[in-house]
Amino acid sequence: MAERIAVIGGDGIGPEVTEQARRIVDRAAQIAQRSLEWEECPYGADYYLEHGVGIEPGRFDDFREHYAAILFGAVGDPRVPDMAHGRELLLGARFQLDLYINLRPIKLLDPRLCPLKDKGVDDVDFVIFRENTEGGYVGVGGAVRPGTIHEVAQQTFVYTRRGVERIIRSAFEFAQRDGRKSVCMTDKANAMRQGHELWQRTFREVASEYPKIESFHLYVDVAAMELVRCPERFDVIVTENLFGDILSDLGASLQGGLGTAASGNIHPGRCSLFEPVHGSAPDLVGTGRANPMAAIMSGAILLDHLGMSGAARTVEQAVIDQLASGEVTPDLGGNLNCVQVGDQILARLG
Ligand SMILES: NC(=O)c1ccc[n+]([C@@H]2O[C@H](COP(=O)([O-])OP(=O)(O)OC[C@H]3O[C@@H](n4cnc5c(N)ncnc54)[C@H](O)[C@@H]3O)[C@@H](O)[C@H]2O)c1
């Protein structure tokens, strides 16, 4: 039976890059003798301006029950300056589908892309497991006397034992499955005692169940320095929501910028969402200059999620070979357009 995938291109270059990812994932799945059924969804700024909502009520329940995955482009349009539709779509998906793993593979696909001196593809190859449903992003807090000099604003970080444990366990399970040597947990327990004590204790307990995997801890400020000084120290990093958000973008720079940075918002075994890290790049719309590689690499994570790891590695290798050929979009110094890069990567799949 075909597995159903929802495609939400969104705004700006989202639909262009997603279309390339869609046809490449489809072909890779076909080679793996699996059948995918794609459904284009109209969500984005146009939909929001027409309907007054980012997505119909109940649609996430539909995704959870009837779809294997969502392939997402990007949101962001000057006509919706407060990004209300983007929050409804992306935060809505994270919370309503309980996508508790934000998976960010940080892998340098070509040595020429690395901004660090004397570092190569073997040095930048780690995966960040960012907790995606708790911390400072739960929306708990408020403001008193806003707009006055007596204003008080409060934003609360929320951690639950269940939430912390499941993301740490996912990191160790991945390390074990993927043959990785170590898991690093990073927090700020020296300053944020209450919340991050829970992270420390839970990390020690879960780590003890995986004696073959080295476990270590770094405060997040040290982790940021070490990522730049010595990225080869890291195999798997697990951390809370805000720190994961920041470190993942640092990681995107280490891997050569937005051109190839991919992500998965995942609940294992359930409908999950896959998207490039970049935004809607309004400056590139209609120019053909959008690089589809980050979307295609997000498609590779989608294939992994659906149990097609062979197909995922084939897509990754096709992107690596494409980069090596120098036949790329202008952001990476080439002169191909988005569709031409998609065509060539597709051809590499055989
Ligand atoms: N997850 C998301 O949907 C997401 C993420 C980040 C930003 N945004 C939104 O996107 C809009 C634009 O934001 P921004 O300009 O800060 O970030 P952006 O990622 O859209 O663009 C940053 C820079 O990178 C370039 N760029 C981005 N993607 C590219 C690609 N695939 N190929 C070649 N060049 C690319 C752009 O031209 C721009 O110069 C805003 O509305 C923002 O809120 C959305």
pLDDT one-digit tens code per residue, 63-78: 999 999 999 999 999 9
17 and 76 inside one domain: yes
Of 203, 222, 254, the position where a domain reaches its end is: 254
The four Cα atoms 128, 129, 130, 131 give a dihedral, to 10 degrees, of -170
Q: What is the pLDDT of residue 228?
A: 97
Q: What pLDDT digit, counting tens, does each position of 210-249 carry? A: 999 999 999 999 999 999 999 999 999 999 999 999 999 9
Atom of ligand 1 nearest to the CA of 275: 1
Q: How many residues does the chain have?
A: 350
DSSP-assigned letters across all residues of 315-341: HHHHHHHHHHHT---GGGT----HHHH
Is ligand 1 within 6 A of the CB of residue 342?
Answer: no
- Whole-model pTM: value is 0.96
pLDDT at 2 over 80: no
Of 239, 254, 269, the position where a domain reaches its end is: 254
261 and 250 inside one domain: no
The 125-131 sheet, strands edge to edge: 36-41, 3-10, 69-74, 272-276, 262-266, 101-107, 125-131, 236-239, 182-187, 214-219
Q: Summarize the confidence of residues 188-210 as an average pLDDT.
A: 97
Q: What is the pLDDT of residue 217?
A: 98
47 is catalytic: no
Q: Tell me, yes or no, whether 153 lies in a domain.
A: no
137 is catalytic: yes
Q: Summarize the confidence of residues 92-121 as an average pLDDT.
A: 96
Q: Tell me, yes or no, whether 23 lies in a domain.
A: yes
Q: Tell me, yes or no, whether 133 lies in a domain.
A: no
Q: Summarize the confidence of residues 162-166 as an average pLDDT.
A: 98
Residue 205's domain comprises 158-254
Q: Tell me, yes or no, whether 139 lies in a domain.
A: no
Q: Tell me, yes or no, whether 80 lies in a domain.
A: yes
82 is catalytic: no
Of 196, 227, 254, the position where a domain reaches its end is: 254
Report the separation in Å between the CA atom of 125 and the middle of ligand 1, taken as the mean of its atom positions: 24
Burial class (CB in 10 A: 0-12, 13-18, 19+), 173: middle
Q: How far apart are CA 100 and CA 267, in angstroms?
A: 6
Express the helix, strand and coil content of the chain in percent, nearest 5 each: 45, 20, 35
Rounded to the nearest integer, the mean pLDDT of the chain is 97
Q: Tell me, yes or no, whether 148 lies in a domain.
A: no
3 and 99 inside one domain: yes
187 and 298 inside one domain: no
Residue whose pair of structure tokens reads 């699996």 in the numeric block: 34
61 is catalytic: no
Atom of ligand 1 nearest to the CA of 293: 31
162's CB contacts (< 8 A; 6+ apart) are: none
Query: On the CB side of 82, how many CA atoms lie within 13 Å of its CA?
Result: 5
Q: Tell me, yes or no, whether 126 lies in a domain.
A: no
The continuous run of DSSP H or E covering 242 comes out as: helix 241-254
Task: State the alpha helices, DSSP H only, in 32-116.
Answer: 45-51, 59-66, 84-86, 92-96
331 and 315 inside one domain: yes
303's CB contacts (< 8 A; 6+ apart) are: 25, 28, 29, 309, 311, 312, 315
Supply the residue whose CA is at minimum distance from atom 36 of ligand 1: 281
Q: Summarize the confidence of residues 39-43 as an average pLDDT.
A: 98
Q: Summarize the confidence of residues 15-35 as an average pLDDT.
A: 97
82 and 20 inside one domain: yes
Q: What is the pLDDT of residue 350?
A: 83
30: pLDDT confidence band, cut at 50, 70 and 90? very high
Q: Summarize the confidence of residues 197-203 as an average pLDDT.
A: 98
Q: How many domains does the chain have?
A: 2
Q: How far apart are CA 133 and CA 240, in angstroms?
A: 9
Amino acid at the residue 56: E
Q: What pLDDT digit, counting tens, does each position of 203-221 carry? A: 999 999 999 999 999 999 9
Which residue from 344, 126, 118 is spatially nearest to 255, judged by alpha carbons?
Answer: 126
262 and 249 inside one domain: no
Give the Å distances, CA to CA, from 162 to 166, 243, 266, 344: 6, 19, 16, 45
Report the separation in Å between the CA atom of 176 and the middle of ligand 1, taken as the mean of its atom positions: 34
Q: Which residues on neighbouring strands pair with residue 272, listed in sequence order?
A: 69
Report the separation in Å between the CA atom of 258 and the middle of ligand 1, taken as the mean of its atom positions: 8
1: pLDDT confidence band, cut at 50, 70 and 90? low
Q: Find out whether 71 and 274 touch, Cβ atoms under 8 Å.
A: yes
271 and 238 inside one domain: no
Q: Tell me, yes or no, whether 198 lies in a domain.
A: yes
pLDDT at 285 over 70: yes
- CATH number of the domain to which 104 belongs: 3.40.718.10
71 and 112 inside one domain: yes
99 and 16 inside one domain: yes
Q: Which residues on neighbouring strands pair with residue 185, listed in sequence order?
A: 217, 238
Q: Summarize the confidence of residues 16-36 as an average pLDDT.
A: 97
The continuous run of DSSP H or E covering 26 comes out as: helix 14-31
229 and 262 inside one domain: no
As a whole number of Å, the CA-based R_g of the chain is 20
Q: How far apart are CA 35 and CA 26, in angstroms?
A: 8
Is ligand 1 within 6 A of the CB of residue 273?
Answer: no
Q: How far apart are CA 194 and CA 190, in angstroms?
A: 10
66: tokens are: 């009837």
pLDDT at 20 over 80: yes
Sign of CA dihedral 24, 56, 273, 43: positive
pLDDT at 32 over 90: yes
221 is catalytic: yes
206 and 181 inside one domain: yes
Residue whose pair of structure tokens reads 């070509």 in the numeric block: 110
